[in-house]
Structure 1
Amino acid sequence: MKFAYFTHVWGRENISVRQRYEELWQEIEAADRLGFDYAFSVEHHCTPEESWMSSPAVFCTGAALRTERIRVGPMGWVPPLHHPLHIVEEAATLDHLLGGRLEVGLASGVSDQPFKPFGADFAGRKERTRECADLLRTAFAGKGSFDFDGPVHRLRDITLSFGAEQTPHPPLWIPTTDRATLRHLAKTGGHTCSTMIVPRAVMGLVYRHYVDWWRKEGQPGAPNIGYWSLVHVAGTDAEAEARAAEQATRTFVETLRYGSVRRSVDRLAPASGLSTADILAGCHDFRFLMDHNLIFVGSPRTVADRVAEAAREGYFNTLFGEFVFGDITGDEAIGSMELFARDVVPHLAAFTPYEPPEAAAPSAAAAS
């Protein structure tokens, strides 16, 4: 299993933007020092209550200056908000600044709100995102000029100032549970991820097929499949829960604006029976989040067990942990990261939800 430090770069009252970014660099330095595999952030615009990170290039450049080994990237750039050639050039530059440590996430977006200030194409977001991934592969495939015919952009006789450091290109990720997109990712060797608001039963079903398709395409190893949630580790379960309960629910309800719907108190479905609407409606309730294993809070042993249980159900092999949320910040958040790296990672590093290729017979649904 692999582990990512993930951040929305949430702002707080009584802190300046400069101070928040200085905290961010300290968090990334800690993730690098502690052996996390990845550092990922978002591209969000005009959402002061949710995120202060509007520039993946700033995130990656700051990380390049502060780290030595951790792999870094946006999760992700939002291609419908850009000309895709801009993303190609930024990715090439950042890959060199990072010494070949760039991961390229491309996120199509789930809400039309961030698209409105730019007059961007929300309806065509998935098509534009896949087009950007195809352009990245084309642009970095060789030296010299290239042509590109996409569904939206037609480029002729383009010569980059320089390509990426990694060959044939930096690893590509597209967050999705869409079967057609996953088939395309399996064919092209791309990775994926999802979040805790997507039912893990759904994730487990489609991602098992994705792994089958990956193997049938002859791709090496296994794809990386990420899962995002909040993480807080303390010495005991009671200590961790006491510290994280209010901060987690406030993050979901006030910052991310989840939990605006109220579920009936007598409607408690097992995790496998939850829908996204159920999860969103329950986000105001810490016990709901814990009972359905939607966040990872507790002692190191408890967190390790909870992550493994979730991974088996959701078929993910990379945890995107958000350790900085609410007023769990600074030394307290980094202390949680330290406990996680020291006492959780050793229990999970060799864990995988996947069967070995020789034991995994593709299902009839996967073969269809």
Structure 2
Amino acid sequence: MPRSPTATGWWRRTSGSATAARKKRREPAVKFGILLDHQYDPGTDIGARTGELVEYVQHIRDLGYDSLFGIHHYLSSLSTHQPLPLLSRLIDHSGSMELGTGILILPLGHPVHWAEEIATIDQMSGGRFVLGIGSGYREDEFASFGVERRTRVSRMNESLDVMRQLWSGEKVTHHGQHFDLDGVRCSVLPAQDEIPVWVGANGPIGIERIAKQGLPWLAPSNVRRNWAVGNLKDYREHRAAAGFDDTGATFPIHRDLCVADSSEEAFAIAGTAVQRSYGEYVQYGMDYFDSQWEGIKEKALFFGSPDDIAAKVQDFADAGFNHFVFRSQWLGMPIEQSMKIVERFAREVMPRFRS
């Protein structure tokens, strides 16, 4: 739906400046971002942790990372910041990095709410927002919101459609399976011409659906190398069959990262913490994080020396992934150790992928 030149002229001026600023920056062939793991033991002082995250983000910014993402859950067993308020707090400390959600559980909110919240943060950040979305999986979240879990995919897709209509600046009338709008207009529009949308999925049906929509598939962190690479190949084939060109396309992936002198040292530093973090998912029906931990540990984590990590990045890049979003925080590990990990990657690995 086209934007009205009269109703949204102010928006076009803002959008144009944001787009021009991005074009001036030379885009690297491979991008590196950080996924903030803002989950803490129950009763943690969230105010103090927020201060730590500000320092962490300033460090990431100064090291030259390209992007920064937050996570999303409700009613967690852990004390967890909500991502949009947190990212808003971090805007002024993030430099020119992209900011986004990795991921936002879209079916648990109304598209009018999401559209205005996300447009606001995109405006506040000068057009740097990336909307990572997913359909969710935790039964207690859906039950508490009164949303039928079986409808989560259709709600996610319809929500995104409604949000994009609202971001057009035109009045929107929509009567769908889940939402009804009658001649309403979004009160705040994004700074970008089009907010990038990444979609998370952990199975072939979902991955195929994302490919046919022409949207970037955000590959999960905990899957083994061959699974990630094989599904990326299938995704790109489905994407091409649907008529989408790979030129300029984003192929993102989450990975857990610990850089040390050796693999043994990396696991000595962070092995207990990362296993504990994944262990939290067992209570939500993901018992394979316990039963299959050794396989995940050996074939999914980016733990090792700078040469080890560079080889893993190159392997995944050769397969087609071009935006790596690393988590280097886990339960119980001091933030100072996370800072050392991201710094060592930036100093000893990242330059190998910058021309």
TM range (shorter): 0.7 to 0.9
TM-score (norm 1): 0.79
Q: Tell me by how many angstroms 1:97 deviates.
A: 0.6
1:232 pairs with one of 258, 261, 272: 258
Q: CA deviation at 1:222?
A: 4.6
After superposition, where does 1:17-32 map in structure 2 within 5 Å? 17-32=46-61
State the match for 2:312 in structure 1: 306
Q: SS of the residue aligned with 2:40? A: coil
1:257-268 matches, cutoff 5 A: 257=282
Measure how far apart 1:230 and its partner are: 1.9
User: Superposed, which structure 2 residues align to 1:102-141 within 5 Å?
Assistant: 102-141=129-168
Residues 260, 129 of structure 1: alpha-carbon distance in 2 compared, 3 angstrom cutoff:
closer
Q: Which whole-Å CA distance do the structure 2 matches of 1:223 and 1:8 have between them? A: 26
Q: Does 1:206 align with 2:231?
A: yes
1:334 to partner: Cα distance: 0.7
Q: Take 1:140 and 1:113, find their aligned partners in 2: how far apart are those partners? A: 31
Residue by residue over 1:97-145, the C-alpha shift from the partner in whole angstroms, topping out at 9 and shown as x without a partner, is: 110000011111123132222222211111111112212222223x331
Supply the distance in 2 between the matched residues of 1:25 and 1:88 (Cα, whole angstroms): 26
Tell me which of 45, 50, 61 is aligned to 1:16.
45
CA distance in 2: counterparts of 1:308 and 1:220, whole angstroms? 19
Work out whether 1:72 is the aligned partner of 2:99: yes
Please point out which of 336, 340, 344 is paired with 1:331.
Answer: 336
How many percent of aligned residue pairs carry the same amino acid?
A: 22
Contact 1:107 1:174 in 2 (8 A): yes
SS in 1 for 2:32: strand
* 2:199 is the counterpart of 1:170: no
| Matched residue SS, 1:227 | strand
Q: Judging by fraction of residues, say which structure has more helix.
A: 2
Inter-CA distance 179–243: structure 2 relative to 1 (3 Å threshold): closer
Q: Which residue of 2 aligns with 1:196?
A: 221
Asked if 2 retains the 8 angstrom alpha-carbon contact of 1:133 and 1:172, the reply is: no
1:164 is displaced (CA, Å) by 0.7
Amino acid corresponding to residue 60 of structure 1 in structure 2: L
Q: Are positions 1:319 and 2:329 aligned together? A: no
The answer to which of 79-88 and 30-39 deviates more is 30-39
Residues 306 and 349 of structure 2 are in contact (CA less than 8 Å); yes or no, is this contact kept in structure 1? yes
Q: Deviations over 1:6-53 (max 9, x none)?
A: 02312147841111111122222222222212111111111133x512
The offset of 1:330, in angstroms, is 2.1
**1:293 has 2:299 as partner:** yes
The amino acid across from 2:351 in the alignment is P
2:292 partner amino acid = G
* Pair 1:98–1:2, CA change in 2 (3 A): same
Q: Secondary structure at the match of 2:149?
A: coil
TM superposition shift of 1:61: 0.4
TM-score by length of structure 2 reads 0.81
Structure 1 residue aligned with 2:80? 52
Q: Which has the higher contact order (CA 8 A, sep 6+)?
A: 2
- RMSD of equivalent CA atoms: 2.7
Residue 122 of structure 2: aligned partner: 95
1:341-365 Cα shifts (integer Å, max 9, x gaps): 1211223457xxxxxxxxxxxxxxx
Shift of 1:236: 4.0
Tell me if structure 1 keeps the 8 A contact 2:225–2:299.
no
Residue 265 (structure 1) aligns with = none
